[in-house]
Amino acid sequence: MDYASTFGWDVVDETEEDTAAGTLRVVTWEISSGVDLSYSLDDATGCPYVFVTAAIPSQRQAFIDHAEDHLEVFSREELITFHDGADTVEERAGALLMLALSSPPEFDEDSQVRVVEGLRDPRNDLREAAIYATGYTPARRYVPMLREIALHDPVQQLRDNAQDMLVAYEEAGIGEE
């Protein structure tokens, strides 16, 4: 990635894509001691994205701001506007996934409200996207809704998807609130 090489950051890890194993390609650079920048391509949206890992939230935010200043990215406000103004279910589902993907690891009301709306939406494509979106920033608050879909959704594939997400949550140690 030209952005990282411009600043002289060294690659510290690279995972190759393995579609059979469900592994995405991820390249990670060390920005400074304890701060890493990673790049990947989201499998659901096809959207390239970067994320910063840092123990100190202010460091993480500073490097996110730096990336936003040097890369062509959507702002959170743009993603919210795109979601809320979507004309079709396909646009709304795609915007929901991108908004959830851009969410910070801590609670984010803007994303959470829209994911919950998606989980409750009568349209199958939007419920499917919302189920997937709960995997970007897993949270206990989604468990009851995922369980409801897994047990009672009229679409078998969505019941299966919700059940798979609940299994992933359980494996990550995330249960109900």
- C-alpha dihedral sign at 62, 107, 132, 24: positive
**Contacting residues for 98 by C-beta, under 8 A, at least 6 apart:** 45, 47, 74, 79, 82
Give tens-digit pLDDT for 144-164. Answer: 999 999 999 999 999 999 999
Residue-range definition of the domain harbouring residue 132: 76-171
Using DSSP, state whether 32 is helix, strand or coil.
Answer: strand
Give tens-digit pLDDT for 82-127. Answer: 999 999 999 999 999 999 998 887 778 999 999 999 999 999 999 9
- Which residue among 70, 100, 122 closes a domain? 70
Residue 176 domain-assigned (yes or no): no
Q: So what's the pLDDT on residue 177?
A: 62
- Which residue among 41, 70, 99 closes a domain? 70
Residue 56 domain-assigned (yes or no): yes
Residue 177 domain-assigned (yes or no): no
Is 43's pLDDT higher than 80?
A: yes
Query: Do the beta carbons of residue 130 and residue 136 sit within 8 Å?
Result: no
The whole model's pTM is what? 0.83
Is 22's pLDDT higher than 90?
A: no
One domain, residues 58 and 16:
yes
One domain, residues 82 and 24:
no
Q: How far is CA 89 from the centre of its chain?
A: 19
Q: Which percentage of the chain shows pLDDT scores above 90?
A: 67
- Which residue among 70, 94, 116 closes a domain? 70
Residue 144 domain-assigned (yes or no): yes
One domain, residues 110 and 156:
yes
Residue carrying structure tokens 């062509």: 72
